[in-house]
Amino acid sequence: MSILDIRVLGDPVLRRPTTAVIEVTDELRKLIADMFETMYAAEGIGLAAPQVGRNERVAVVDVEGSKFTLINPRIISTQGIRKEKAEEGCLSIPDIYGDVERQFTVTIRAIDENGNEYEATGSDLLGRCFQHEIDHLDGKLFIDYLSPLKRKAAMASWEKTKAKYPGHTRRVRTEVKGEHHRETEM
Ligand code: K1U
Ligand code: ZN
């Protein structure tokens, strides 16, 4: 398995719509395994294919041990009208956070890495993560939901941060130091 480079804000791949997966191949399973490894190395709870420069309609999620592979996911229902505002971050916009209002509970239909269709219902952080990852597959980012004022402030902050990511690339590596595993960015 490999840790992949993460594309950051400004890379056009994050704004491109993805292409539906026709067949779950070994090559796709390798991409999924690499995406899980990259997500864990970056200490995220989700990761979508465009974030690693790919255009397949695929994402991975692990919220408190509830692990999902999302191939061609779509939201099939939102239970009730309850919405909730909470702070979000994005592995492709490091160090920038903002409050986003989303459905509290969503049910998705997707295909897993074995090619089997399944449905899953997620509330709270899991529901939020499903929505955040499906947005990535449609070229949408959490900053798109911020008010003009908050978005302007977020972009001003990003202007200072983005120099850390030449070529719109965030390199996450797990480094072994003595007995400790440490995350480093290069
Ligand atoms: O897709 C991504 O950029 C991953 C992103 C997913 C996400 C974060 C917050 C709300 C919804 C979806 C992250 O994992 S950023 C890391 C993060 O914010 C976080 C990490 C652990 C627990 C909670 C949030
Ligand atoms: Zn994100």
pLDDT digits (tens, 9 = 90+) for 70-127: 999 999 999 878 999 999 999 999 999 999 999 999 999 999 999 999 999 999 999 9
For 121-164, what is each residue's pLDDT tens digit? 999 999 999 999 999 999 999 999 999 999 999 999 999 999 99
Cβ of residue 128 lying under 6 Å from some atom of ligand 1: yes
Closest protein CA for atom 5 of ligand 1: 90
Q: Which amino acid is at 34?
A: D
Q: Cite the active site residues.
A: 133
Distance 25 CA to ligand 2 centre (A): 25
Distance 114 CA to ligand 2 centre (A): 25
Q: Which helix (H) or strand (E) holds 158?
A: helix 148-161
The minimum-distance atom of ligand 1 relative to the CA of 100 is 10
Cα separations (Å) of 169 from 11, 13, 18, 58, 91?
8, 12, 19, 20, 11
Cβ burial of 151 (10 Å; 0-12, 13-18, 19+) is middle
Place of tokens 């390798």: 30
Cβ of residue 170 lying under 6 Å from some atom of ligand 1: no
Structural contact between residues 4 and 35, judged by C-beta atoms closer than 8 angstroms: yes
Closest protein CA for atom 11 of ligand 1: 129
Place of tokens 């399973």: 29
Q: What's the pLDDT at 176?
A: 60
Task: Please report how many Cα atoms fall inside a 13 Å half-sphere around the Cα of residue 23, on the Cβ side.
Answer: 3
Cβ of residue 100 lying under 6 Å from some atom of ligand 1: no
Q: What is the 3-state secondary structure (H, E, C) of 26-87?
A: HHHHHHHHHHHHHHHHCCCCEEEHHHHCCCECEEEEEECCEEEEEEEEEEEEECCCCEEEEE
